[in-house]
Amino acid sequence: MSGSTQPKIEFTTEPTFQLQAYENAMQMMAYSVDELQEMLHVNREIALQNWRRFQTFHIKEGLRPAAFFYDGMVFQKLTPETFSNKELQYANDHLLICSFLYGLLRPLDRINPYRLEGNIILPNNAGKSIFDYWKPVLTDWFIKKVKADDGILIYLASNEMHNLFDWKRIRKEVMIISPEFKIEKEGKLKTIVIYTKMCRGAMTRFILKNKITYPELLKDFEYEGFRFDKGSDWLFTLK
């Protein structure tokens, strides 16, 4: 997470699960730097940074819109800073971002910086991991959200985020499309993580910028040589 600059946008929103995020952040506040280093599997510098983040979590001056706070490769290729205010509003109505602390976020939800892992068990969560904590909270809300739109989910989050939801129930209720991105090497198709992240961000941008509403139009997506592999089940390849 970076968020060193405040984007100039017309409006922002509040996270849907702000209360749950705050309660879990308050539990994280109780841990020492050494404990955070072990829990988060990070070096001491990062542990100290996040100890400070949780200690000041209640301070609103550090809030930034989520899409502008994350700086991983997916968000670098999403490039929200290039969106107009109207495009950002559209994105806020159609894009959801998975978060271990906030559950699900819209791009313009104002959040604090943090670091959290899905397998952490916090003392007040009845022995549940972050994954299991969120599953009953998010699943019903998520299904209703997708069905209230058009009932179609384009899943472009990492596989790890699957564990935040009850997918058996979701599959029964909505149509799910999970694009894959592979590179052909020595006659075999291989998944290269960095390219997958780049394509996920670029495809999200493509969907939002073009206001894609029909799944078939996804097949027009191209990025750095990646194209839809005809006859496949939502596979995009670089050959």
- The residue from 142, 169, 196 where one domain ends is 169
The range of the structural domain enclosing residue 114 comes to 18-169
Give yes or no for a contact between 113 and 62, defined as CB atoms under 8 angstroms apart.
yes
Judgement on whether residues 118 and 42 belong to the same structural domain of the protein: yes
Judgement on whether residues 127 and 194 belong to the same structural domain of the protein: no
Q: Is residue 75 part of a domain?
A: yes
Judgement on whether residues 122 and 219 belong to the same structural domain of the protein: no
Judgement on whether residues 22 and 116 belong to the same structural domain of the protein: yes
Q: Is residue 57 part of a domain?
A: yes
Residue 59: pLDDT band by 50, 70, 90 thresholds? confident
Number of folded domains that form the chain: 2
pLDDT in tens, 172-212: 999 999 999 999 988 899 999 999 999 999 999 999 999 99
Residue 223: pLDDT band by 50, 70, 90 thresholds? very high
Q: Is residue 8 part of a domain?
A: no
Residue 151 backbone class (left: φ over 0; alpha: ψ -120 to 50; beta: rest): left
Judgement on whether residues 27 and 100 belong to the same structural domain of the protein: yes
Judgement on whether residues 208 and 121 belong to the same structural domain of the protein: no
* pLDDT of res. 3: 62
Judgement on whether residues 38 and 100 belong to the same structural domain of the protein: yes
Judgement on whether residues 127 and 189 belong to the same structural domain of the protein: no
Say how far apart CA 24 and CA 54 lie, in whole Å: 10
Enter the pTM of the model.
0.94
Judgement on whether residues 107 and 215 belong to the same structural domain of the protein: no
Q: Is residue 174 part of a domain?
A: no
Residue 231 backbone class (left: φ over 0; alpha: ψ -120 to 50; beta: rest): left
Judgement on whether residues 190 and 104 belong to the same structural domain of the protein: no
- The residue from 150, 169, 188 where one domain ends is 169
Residue 62: pLDDT band by 50, 70, 90 thresholds? confident
Amino acid, res. 13: T
Q: What are phi and psi of 103, to 5 degrees?
A: 80, -90
Judgement on whether residues 103 and 135 belong to the same structural domain of the protein: yes
Judgement on whether residues 189 and 155 belong to the same structural domain of the protein: no
